[in-house]
């Protein structure tokens, strides 16, 4: 039997750090779009206000997703530092390299993720 493929932790760590910075930059650049919509009828028409509210809702959802991804990135970086990265947080089995290459923030193996209804 051949040796298992080793995870290049340095490369995955760098990828996680770069993605974290991208997300932080996106959050900073989109902060204005998440501000409360002005309801002054003398300045903005009803349809424009509805468009602004819809745009704000989409921006808020995008920010929620960014925060969730940032949390997954931070958890992955902590697992790298502690030496637990690459192992399922539920059952302890080794997570396949291809799975980690697709999404380095995944904390579980395929079996545990499918039991939980996740990825």
pLDDT by residue, tens only, the chain of 119 residues: 334 446 788 999 999 999 999 999 998 888 777 677 666 555 556 667 778 888 889 989 999 999 999 999 999 999 999 999 999 999 999 999 999 999 999 999 999 999 987 55
Q: What pLDDT sits at residue 117?
A: 76
Q: How many helical (H) and strand (E) elements, i.e. helices and strands, does the chain have?
A: 4, 0
Which tokens hold the place of 17? 């750090």
- CB of 91 within 8 A of CB of 24? no
**How many residues comprise the chain?**
119
Q: What pLDDT sits at residue 31?
A: 77
Q: What pLDDT sits at residue 5?
A: 45
DSSP letters of 48-104? HHHHHHHHHHHHHHHHHHHHHHHHHHHHHHHHHHHT-TTB-TTT-PBPPHHHHHH-T
Which tokens hold the place of 20? 């974290």
């Amino acid at each position: 039997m051949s040796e298992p493929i080793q995870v290049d932790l340095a490369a995955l760590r760098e990828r996680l750090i770069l993605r974290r910075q991208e997300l932080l930059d996106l959050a900073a650049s989109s902060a204005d779009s998440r501000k409360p919509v002005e309801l002054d009828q003398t300045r903005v028409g009803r349809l424009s206000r509805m468009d602004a509210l819809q745009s704000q809702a989409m921006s808020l959802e995008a920010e929620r997703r960014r925060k969730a991804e940032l949390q997954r990135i931070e958890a992955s970086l902590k697992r790298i530092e502690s030496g637990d990265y690459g192992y399922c947080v539920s059952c302890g089995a080794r997570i396949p390299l291809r799975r980690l290459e697709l999404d380095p923030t995944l904390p579980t193996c395929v079996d545990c993720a499918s039991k939980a209804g996740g990825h």
